[in-house]
Structure 1
Amino acid sequence: MAAQTKKSSAGLLALFGAILVVQGFGSAITEAGWDTSFGVSALLREAGAPAWVDLAVGAVGCALLVAAARA
């Protein structure tokens, strides 16, 4: 049972990591190319967050992917 819990938690980390990578870096790319953002980063941008927050969201996603790979 413990092995199953560890496997499912690693899967969730990978899922959330992939989502945040796409949301963060994808939004930064669309903001630079087409002057629009989407997802989590768009909500943060509307709340007054600076532009570098997109990259921070993507970096958090990368960290979650690394944690999932180690689990």
Structure 2
Amino acid sequence: MAYFPFYIDIENKNILVVGGGTVALRKIEKLSPFKPSITVVSPKICREILKFNVKAVEREFDDNDLNGAFCVISAT
């Protein structure tokens, strides 16, 4: 798979992370230093994710979760 470098300012941008396990944790760890506003949606969210400054929504993903999102990361 080829990787596309995506250089954008994400400070204060609404980032939606769909998934609450170890993959999501790795993504959040990489994103956090850039100070986005992160929302995590997943039926189960691991404790390590909750240590970050994120909005945690423990339920299944809904299409309406996309409203207002600048970027969406699938981490399932």
- TM-score tier, shorter chain, comes to under 0.3
Q: Which has the higher strand share?
A: 2
Larger RCO: 1 or 2 (CA < 8 Å, sep 6+): 1
Whichever of the two has the greater Rg, that structure is 1
Q: Which has the higher helix share?
A: 1
When normalised by structure 2's length, the TM-score is 0.25
When normalised by structure 1's length, the TM-score is 0.26
